[in-house]
Amino acid sequence: NAPAASANCLFCKIVAGDVPADVVASSERVLAFRDIDPKAPLHVLVVPKAHHGDVSVLAAADPSLLAEVVATADEVATELADGQYRLIFNSGPRAGQSVFHVHGHVVGGARLGWTPA
Ligand code: 5GP
Ligand code: ZN
């Protein structure tokens, strides 16, 4: 019942291996790779391999998969930084979402400022 890969979705193409990425973690249902334009020393994107548009869609469709995304974010931050991180899901274009395949931004590796806009 997992949604099929969405045509023309950049992150589905990364999951499929059709677009290269610097993968830092991969499991049966979750992939983590470095952001191409990092905003912090650690900046990794964590995605479900199945296509879901945003975090609220994922939470409704498959809450345990959202939990796997969060657990993977924690593991990546522990392995690649000091285990302290911010996990951001932009939801909607006005909130800064530009890729409509849900992804958590794991940012850390430095003391983070608070700049919500
Ligand atoms: P959003 O703005 O949707 O929350 O985040 C999309 C993120 O994807 C941005 O931080 C952007 O830098 C990153 N991104 C865009 N294109 C690529 C790409 O081809 N590869 C990787 N690794 N990251 C990308
Ligand atoms: Zn997708």
Q: Are strands 104-108 and 42-48 parallel, antiparallel or unpaired?
A: antiparallel
28 lines ligand 1 (CB under 6 A): no
SS3 category, 90? coil
Cβ atoms of residues 49 and 72 within 8 Å: no
For residue 57, the one-letter residue type is V
Does residue 69 lie in a domain region? Answer: yes
**Does residue 101 carry a catalytic annotation?**
no
Which of 2-6, 42-46, 63-67, 70-74 shows the lowest mean pLDDT across its residues? 2-6
Give the torsion through C-alpha atoms of 15, 17, 18, 19, to 10 deg: 80
Does residue 77 lie in a domain region? Answer: yes
Does residue 73 lie in a domain region? Answer: yes
Does residue 72 lie in a domain region? Answer: yes
Q: Find the 6 Cα to ligand 2 centroid distance in Å.
A: 5
Cβ atoms of residues 75 and 25 within 8 Å: yes
pLDDT category at 3 given cuts 50, 70, 90 is: confident
Does residue 32 lie in a domain region? Answer: yes
Number of compact structural domains in the chain: 1
96 lines ligand 1 (CB under 6 A): yes
Does residue 117 lie in a domain region? Answer: no
Q: How many residues does the chain have?
A: 117
Tell me the ligand closest to 15's alpha carbon. 2
**What does the pLDDT look like over 62-111, one tens digit per residue?**
999 999 999 999 999 999 999 999 999 999 999 999 999 999 999 999 99
Which domain covers residue 41, as residue numbers? 10-108
37 lines ligand 1 (CB under 6 A): yes
The predicted complex's ipTM stands at 0.99
- Residue 1 buriedness (CB in 10 A; 0-12 / 13-18 / 19+): exposed
CATH for 87: 3.30.428.10
For residue 91, the one-letter residue type is S
